[in-house]
Amino acid sequence: MTSASCEKWIKQSAHAMRVTPLGVWEAPRRLAVRRHCNVLVCGAGPAGLGAALAAADQGAEVVLVERWAMPGGMWTAGLVNPFFEDTKRGYIVRELINRLEAADSWRIWCGNYCFDPEIMKLTLEQMLRERNVHVLYYSQAVDAIVEKGRVCGAVVESKAGREAILADVVIDATGDGDIAARAGCEFAYGSPVDGFVQPMTLMFEIRDIHGFRQRDSRGLYDRLAAALAERGSDFELPFPRYNAAPYVITLPCDTAGAVQATHVYRVNPLDPAELTAGTMTTREQAHQLMSLLKTLPEFADSRITNTAASMGLRESRRVTGLYRIGVEDLAEGRRFDDAVCCVHFGVDIHHGPGQDKSGHGTKMRPYEIPYRCLVPRDVRGMLLAGRCISGDHFAHASYRVTGSMMATGQAAGFAAARCAAQGIDPAEFDGTQLHAELAARNCGFLAR
């Protein structure tokens, strides 16, 4: 006797295509609509999380699409520590920090705070579930759905195939401005001096550190350079001697650290082949650096436990918005009636051999980012959050850190929910009202 089988035999029709010397032509096809929501957030990094959580707080039905199997983006998939610009953010940012503190996963390091990435994942998922945000992992937003100049959703690809998610407002929190670019938005790329974006870093975690304390990068650089000279290796440290690398960032567990050291230069973050080569190069660098670290007494027993799942991209597309924050705004410490956050972080440009060094450390004063930097100039129905907001190369090197980017996200999410409820476009939303709402939620701004 044989039991009844539950096995299913399935065959799907191939999508019709035609290969020609000019390329591959796809036949038109109907996409199934997976969901219609008030706010669609593309990307669950710090900015996307701020956006999804703030929009849900305002009563919006929110879908959050993320390619990794975790929230947090650079915090978790990228292993990026510390949590720069954590103060005076209020609202969602403050709630997250309070929860990390309560979980004993928040400790000071060199004047900043760091966290345990695993606790970060769990904490963020708890916050998302409590607000009933509909999260889709293993899914990537690959195109914008645009009708008559208005973005009304995104095409998402996953194991389920190619589907559409429709939304009243779409927030591009991809970091690279992927959806805005596909919607036809103008964007800037690279330094005005040499056309290159900032170098990329693959973070890695190590364990069994004993008695190491660090105040700046130069002391560790000199010790590694001396060890390298003594060894006679042809390996070269992948960064110059300045206060950007190397750092061993002590995590909440005393014997664990996140290492910020690997660098690759002149890599195009929008080309997967270049990203792949850069990732392989930096992973090799990580293990070479670990062998050097092990020559120092504090790291004699140390080992790499994890290299990041994602390369840390400092810069790629900068989408053109209704306002473009520039170096002149930083120099003047400019304030705006529609400000969504203030920034204190300096202009941090990691330069490599032969690259222009003039921008790093450009003089600035604390300044504010206006809501208009979150509104694309070219299309309706969309907001920007994170490092793809509208700014120049030098300003971007200041505001790109995770605390500021989550603050832009919480502003975008709040505005998107209100726009969806009122049936208006983000360009019509009153940025001065948004500023007042955020100030009432303890988001710190500069004195008027």
What DSSP letter does each residue of 141-181 carry, written as one string?
A: EEEEEEETTEEEEEEEEETTEEEEEEEEEEEE-SSS-HHHH
C-alpha dist (Å) from residue 220 to 90, 202, 303, 438:
35, 18, 17, 41
Q: Which CATH architecture fits 33-193+315-440?
A: 3-Layer(bba) Sandwich (3.50)
Question: What long-range pairs does 227-231 form, CB within 8 A, spacing at least 24?
Answer: 227/292, 227/295, 227/296, 228/292, 231/292, 231/295
Question: What is the reported pLDDT for 328?
Answer: 96
User: What is the model's pLDDT at position 86?
Assistant: 94
Q: Which two tokens stand for residue 314?
A: 């400092």
- Contact call for residues 150 and 381 (beta carbons, < 8 A): yes
pLDDT for position 234 = 84
Tokens standing for residue 27: 């036949």
Alpha-carbon gap, residue 6 to 1, rounded angstroms:
16
Q: Is the peptide bond before 246 cis (omega within 30 degrees of 0)?
A: yes
CA atoms of 170 and 120, how far apart (whole Å): 25
Give the pLDDT of residue 243: 80
Q: Where are the domains of the chain?
A: 33-193+315-440, 204-307
What is the Cα–Cα distance from 353 to 349, expressed in whole angstroms?
13
225: left (phi over 0), alpha (psi -120 to 50) or beta: alpha
Mean pLDDT of residues grouped by 10 in the chain (448 residues)?
76 91 95 98 98 98 98 98 94 97 95 96 98 98 97 98 98 98 98 94 97 92 94 89 91 92 97 98 98 97 97 97 97 98 95 73 94 98 98 97 98 98 98 98 92
At 2 the pLDDT is 56
- Residues 209, 299: contact at Cβ < 8 Å? yes
CA pair distance 73, 121, nearest whole angstrom: 10
pTM of the full structure: 0.96
C-alpha pair distances (Å), 262 with each of 289, 308, 312, 393, 447: 8, 12, 10, 22, 39
- Strands 32-42 and 62-65 turn out to be parallel
CA–chain centroid gap for 87, Å, is 18
Amino acid 372 reads R
Cβ-based neighbours of 10, under 8 Å, separated by 6 or more: none
Residue 103: phi and psi, rounded to 5, are -90, 10
Residue 338: per-residue pLDDT: 98
Q: How far is CA 72 from the centre of its chain?
A: 8
CA dihedral 112, 117, 79, 251 (to 10 degrees): 50
